[in-house]
Amino acid sequence: MSDKPKKEPDNMRPHRITTIGLMSLLAVILATPAAAAPRHADERPIDFGKQWVRKHPYTLMGLAIRDQPPLDARRYIDAHFSTLLVWKTRDAILGPGSKAGLTWHAHLYAKDGPTEKFQKRVAKLTQQYPGNIALMINDEPLLAKMPVTGQALAWLRRAYPDTLSYCNALPMGDHNAAYSSSLRTDYSYEKYVDDYIDIIRPDVMMFDIYPYQDRDGVANVYFLNMQVVREASLKAGIPYWVFVQSWQGPNRRLPSESDLRMQLFSTLTFGYTGIAYFGFDTTHERAVLDVNGVPTRLYEPTVRANQEVMNIAGPLRYLTSTEVRFIKRTHGSAVPQGLLAWDNFTTRDPHLKEIEIKADSHLPPNTGLSTAPDPQVSGRMTIVPGVSPDFYVDAPYADGLIGNFVDDSGQRYFLVCNLWHSKDATAAERQLAFTLKFDPTIKTLQRLSRLTGKVEKLDVDPQEGLQIILPGGTGDLFKYDTGPFVGLE
């Protein structure tokens, strides 16, 4: 979530059994009870995170950190957040939130594992303030600090079996050695994510990426990072969440309306089942609120976008992402890292045959990849206390993204997202029209309305297909007309 100085890693060497007699080995095996699940016996169900996600509303939360002024719970609720993320466990935040009936997640540090002091703090907070449903322990741990975080989460699973427990991982972009806090140049970000999941064993995978620098465009690792975390989480069988940028600080701009929507709806397209704003308030220059608790220009766009997200995100809790593809506009952008271009030969959707993007004449020509960074700015992320990482920046994509999903019964869904955004542009100013054509068997589609949360039935013209108009950064969720949407309460 934030960049902080990191301690040098501990000397971590796995313990190995060197010699054991055959009879002793047999005795150990016979004396060991059979495991009930692939993980430790003190665990809850192996799919606890998935079950938790389905039992709760879609997780959309804003990080609250300031106690002066106290949390304005009414303003927070009016922004359509579904739960509260408390970064500093102060009465001026927890008190108003709990009194207003908000459920809450809390961030706590356990740098030495589940010490007695840590255990007492958890007990006091959860008893004093009703509504706790989840705890985030530590933040952006490097390899050497993963074991103590894992120990704290293991204790939480035993002591609070109904509470979601998780951490928050670093984003992509730094030199390989930085993720292990050692000189291991062979330690990749992909390995970091795998180790994070295996060692910490969170109920959900979460990471942060803040892709908008002062210059226009988006971090060139944004889509790759979203894809790496998605693939690792699907492999591990756990849900995956992300922090999105809603703050302004050193070399980070306050997102425009189209910027904000591009993060939110592309996140849904990748199948993420939880989103946290960094932040609702802030210790930086400004966020959704400024340092005095006054709404910034981002507040009203947040209200509108969050309501639309909550109107369509519910079913995603019950869906599995099967594919994410880049929809390339004619003469449009180069395909970003981490994605394949959509085509009707290799897509996993057997019905969709053609996608075309149209826009007004002011659409920029071939926006290309990776505009050169400023000479003073490193092309790679650098972790400096108090300064957010810097990236190469891609020009804004005036293209689309499509995510395919299935529910537990094999029913097919897809989400189409307009990726076009700019640093000063509203969603209306970055509108795109998408034409989708299907095989002749598809005569109708269902769409979950962003504006009403109701299911609409759409006719598909066999020749002209279906045209949808999407504001900048915005997406629509569809289902083939073979049964009802899942996850609609």
pLDDT tens-place string over residues 188-197:
999 999 999 9
The half-sphere exposure of 145 on its side-chain side, counting CA atoms within 13 A, is: 21
Q: Could you report the per-residue pLDDT of 49-78, keeping only the tens digit for each? A: 999 999 999 999 999 999 999 999 999 999
pLDDT score of 379 more than 90: no
Strand, helix or coil for residue 379: coil
Predicted pLDDT at 307: 99
**For residue 390, what are its two tokens?**
């810097």
**Mean pLDDT confidence for 323-335:** 87
Alpha helical stretches, state H, 176-295: 189-195, 222-236, 257-269
Q: Are strands 475-480 and 444-448 parallel, antiparallel or unpaired?
A: antiparallel
Instruction: Quickly state the pLDDT bin for 28 (edges 50, 70, 90).
Output: very low
Contact 205, 239 (CB under 8 A): yes
* 199 pLDDT more than 80: yes
For residues 387-392, give the mean pLDDT: 58
| 3-state secondary structure at position 260 | helix
Residue 67 in contact with residue 88, Cβ under 8 Å?
A: yes
What are the chain's domains? 37-318 (3.20.20.80), 320-480 (no CATH)
pLDDT band at 362 (very low <50, low <70, confident <90, very high): low
pLDDT of residue 332: 66
Q: Of 258, 298, 292, give the one whose Cα is nearest residue 278.
A: 298
Sort strands 205-208 and 218-219 into parallel, antiparallel or unpaired: unpaired
pLDDT tens readout for residues 81-109: 999 999 999 999 999 999 999 999 999 99
What's the mean pLDDT in 296-318? 99
Whole-number pLDDT of residue 334: 87
Burial grade of 283 (CB within 10 A; 0-12, 13-18, 19 or more) = middle
In this prediction the pTM is 0.87
pLDDT at 363: 57
Helix (H, G, I), strand (E, B) or coil at 447: strand
Segment 114-132 shows an average pLDDT of 98
Cβ neighbours, 10 Å, residue 345: 4
Burial class (CB in 10 A: 0-12, 13-18, 19+), 269: buried
